[in-house]
Amino acid sequence: MKASKKEFIAEAEDLLFECQQCVLEIQDTYLTAVSPDTINALFRSMHTLKGLSGLFGNQGITDISHALESLLDDIRLGKVPVTEDAVDFLFKSSDTLSSAINGLKEDAPVDLSAHIEEIKNFRASMQAGEKGLDIQGLIDDSILRVLSEYEEHRLKANIKTRNGIYLFNAIFDLSTFDTSLEELTKKIKEEGELISTLPTSTGVPDGSIGFNLMFASSQNAEAFKQHFSGNLEVLVPAKHTDQQIAPKQDHTVRSATTTVRVDIDKLDRILNTIGELTLAKDAVKRIGAEIEESHPHSPLIRDIHKISVSFERRLSELQDEVLAIRMVPIGQIFSRLAQVIRRYSRETGKEIDLTLYGEDTEVDKSIAEEIIDPLMHLVRNSIDHGIESAEERLGKGKREQGAIVLKAAQKGNHVVIEVIDDGRGIDIAIVRKKAIEKGLIDPDAKTEDREVLDLVFAPGFSTKDVVSELSGRGVGMDVVKEKLSMLGGFTEIRTRKNEGTTITLTLPITLAIINALLVRAGKHRFAIPLSAISEIIVIELKDIQTIEWKNVYYLRGEMLPIIDVGKIFLLETDKNDQTFAVIVGFGRRKLGIVVDEIIAQHEIVIKSLGNYLKGLSGFAGAAEIGRHEVILVLDVESIIEQSLTRQEGASYV
């Protein structure tokens, strides 16, 4: 009995997963064209789930999947349109189903009656338009009675669009009627839609067969009488001429296309153009400044200033709009992760209680796509290495079920995503041992725990000698780190033995145009992304102390690692006693970057350094800052990384 329940749940979860995939697919395509196959597949999965739960004798799930099956049948038949509401409703319903299945698993049945009622109501409300149409009086009952439900739906739809409904009676020789009828129906289909083909023997001589063909068309009866010789009856006259139909159709087309789907590449191109325009805007501004210098009283100055201000404002509006278009709620990613978690949970036999927070948090579509794999990896790691087996958990006095929390929140220009588990945590002693073995840390140095912990992100580092099937061979935390760094983000890890691990991913909300701080070190200028900067301080060089080969500065009582851009890139810098330190990073991962001068804030579009310079670390890319000057953009994350793990001055290039 227990085994059959387990099997039922496993199979139900598979079906649910298929349903969710279909709903995702529908969500992705409903604005353009949902494939009927997808809707059919969803319908079939629901149908199977209903049959399965019926077999298992679970009334609640049978009823709810039955109600959903009916709704999907309506969608399939075109009776219920695939609107945003419908897609949302399908999502909600699959969640309900999922909680029902989970409830069954925990022997805590969920009361579904309210949901079933809701599905029925939703279905009724979506069909309302058609139900209101009474065709009883319009068309003879003998015809209506033989229509299948689908045909009736087509009939009503045609009457609603004010098409004429016609009945044509034709008599053919019984032996050849199929070919003759085919010719006739072909003609009808050219002018309209064939709704019903009713064979009849009433008033038909022996050896012959009659057909009552009901069809709909926007043409009026006169147009048909020319085409068909025979008995044409007008059941419902067409309610418009061709001229009248035009604005009506125009209206419906407009309302159907208030939303469009756009290829992300197109938006990228728009952003690129905006980037180029930003450069042009800066050029105008600069020309204004030059004119002001050479001809301080020129009347042109005011005009140029006005134009460049307006240019700047509109450009930033345009940029904001385009960036807003690219935003997607992180819930889309979470729901995909949720499916993965359910699957892995089943594969490993570890029960996982998943909680999601901040699904509405928005992030750029391209970042959303890039972040899925790292998140997937972290989640797998949690289930695989973090969460203990049920026995082990019970032994530790923990709840039998492992908990995973996915949390998203916006913090300024960043989105912070946390993957939290309540597993065994990372054993720092083992990491330390391993790191010493690999020569990543000096066994004699007093490396702090958090520095040791950061090493789990180092390439090829794994504390597990046996690579688990789940996490996959060769994909480690270093890949997660690399991806985040590529996106201009940060990773942070916190862990407590036997309490769990929290991995925090901090990502910029958008990738496109960024604000940067231009700084100078010696003769060279660099850009530092503003989003990475927490503050800028003036420091006396003598206050920089050297502790264990590392330069540090005490900022408000806290030790801040310091690096000198001039030194790491081997540049000749100014020899001042006092200088600036740009503080980058967040939380515990902070770093002061010493520069000679703070120049200005500037909008930049980061361009890749290309294949030749791909191996260069320390730079995120290059940017053009007007007058065809190209400067390098510092990769703050990799600099923090290197400064925390290696001695200053180590090979950067």
Question: How far apart are CB 198 and other proteins at their closest, in Å?
Answer: 5
- Residue 531 is given by DSSP the state G
413 binds other proteins (CB under 8 A): no
Q: Using the rule CB under 8 A, give the single segment among 111-119, 192-200, 269-277, 442-450 that binds other proteins.
A: 192-200
Q: Strand 589-595 and strand 558-564: pairing?
A: parallel
Q: 């009866």: which residue's tokens?
A: 221
- As a whole number of angstroms, the distance between CA 248 and CA 258 comes to 16
CB of 177 to other proteins, least distance (A): 7
Q: How far is the CB of 182 from other proteins (least distance, A)?
A: 9
How many whole angstroms separate alpha carbon 626 and alpha carbon 620? 19
Q: Which is nearer to other proteins, 74 or 364 (CB)?
A: 74
Least distance from other proteins to the Cβ atom of residue 53, Å: 15
User: Judged by CB under 8 A, which of 102, 197, 413, 463 binds other proteins?
Assistant: 197
Residue from the set 89, 177, 490, 553 that interacts with other proteins by CB under 8 A: 177
Give the three-state DSSP class for 325: helix
Distance CA 528, CA 220 (A): 71
- Which strand (E) or helix (H) includes residue 547? strand 545-547
| Among the listed residues 198, 277, 315, 537, the single contact to other proteins using CB under 8 A | 198
Binding to other proteins in span 31-50, by CB under 8 A: 47
Give the binding range for other proteins (CB under 8 A) out of 142-150, 317-325, 559-567, 589-597.
Answer: 142-150
Interacting residue with other proteins among 28, 95, 118, 151 (CB under 8 A):
151
Whether 491 and 455 have beta carbons less than 8 Å apart is answered as: no
CA distances from 352 to 15, 230, 379, 510 (A): 19, 71, 11, 32
189-194 own/partner pairs: CB under 8 Å, 24+ apart: 191/215, 191/217, 191/219, 191/223, 191/224, 191/227, 192/163, 192/166, 192/216, 192/217, 192/218, 192/219, 193/154, 193/158, 193/217
Number of residues that bind other proteins (CB under 8 A): 24
Q: Which of 135, 146, 236, 318 binds other proteins (CB under 8 A)?
A: 146
Contacts with other proteins in 50-109 (CB under 8 A)? 69-70, 73
Least distance CB 178 / other proteins (angstroms): 5
4-33 residues in contact with other proteins (CB under 8 A) are none
The least distance separating other proteins from the CB of residue 366, rounded to whole angstroms, comes to 42
As measured in angstroms, the least distance from the Cβ of 468 to other proteins is 42
41 or 536: whose CB is closer to other proteins? Answer: 41
Phi/psi of residue 386, each to 5°? Answer: -80, -65
Distances (CA, A) of 501 to 122, 461, 598: 42, 17, 39
Token reading at 165: 């409904």
Residues 359 and 335: their CA atoms lie apart, in Å, by 9
- The span from the CA of 68 to the CA of 48, in Å, is 12
Smallest separation (angstroms) from other proteins to the CB of 10: 23
**Member of 59, 99, 200, 244 binding other proteins (CB under 8 A):** 200
CB of 416 to other proteins, least distance (A): 47
CB of 147 to other proteins, least distance (A): 7
Q: Do residues 627 and 475 make contact, with C-beta atoms less than 8 angstroms apart?
A: no
CB of 148 to other proteins, least distance (A): 5
Nearer to other proteins, 68 or 104 (CB): 68
Q: How far is the CB of 39 from other proteins (least distance, A)?
A: 13
Query: In sequence order, what are the beta bridge partners of 592?
Result: 562, 583
Q: Which of 32, 137, 183, 202 binds other proteins (CB under 8 A)?
A: 202
Q: Which residue, 20 or 196, is less far from other proteins as judged by CB? A: 196
- Quote the CA–CA distance of 90 and 69 in Å, as a whole number: 11
Residue 196 binds other proteins (CB under 8 A): yes
208 binds other proteins (CB under 8 A): no
Residue 459 to residue 558: CA distance in whole angstroms: 30
Tokens representing 223 are: 């147009």
Specify the pairing of strand 513-521 against strand 362-364.
unpaired
Q: Applying CB under 8 A, which of residues 15, 52, 155, 209 lies at the interface with other proteins?
A: 209
Q: Which stretch binds other proteins (CB under 8 A): 92-100, 197-205, 367-375, 572-580?
A: 197-205
By beta-carbon proximity to other proteins, the closer residue of 144 and 552 is 144
Give me 175's structure tokens.
């032996």
Using the minimum distance from each CB to other proteins, give the nearer residue, 151 or 193: 151
Q: If DSSP codes are grouped into helix, strand and coil, which group holds residue 271? A: helix
Q: Give the footprint of other proteins on this chain (CB under 8 A).
A: 47, 69-70, 73, 145-151, 174-175, 177-178, 181, 196-202, 209
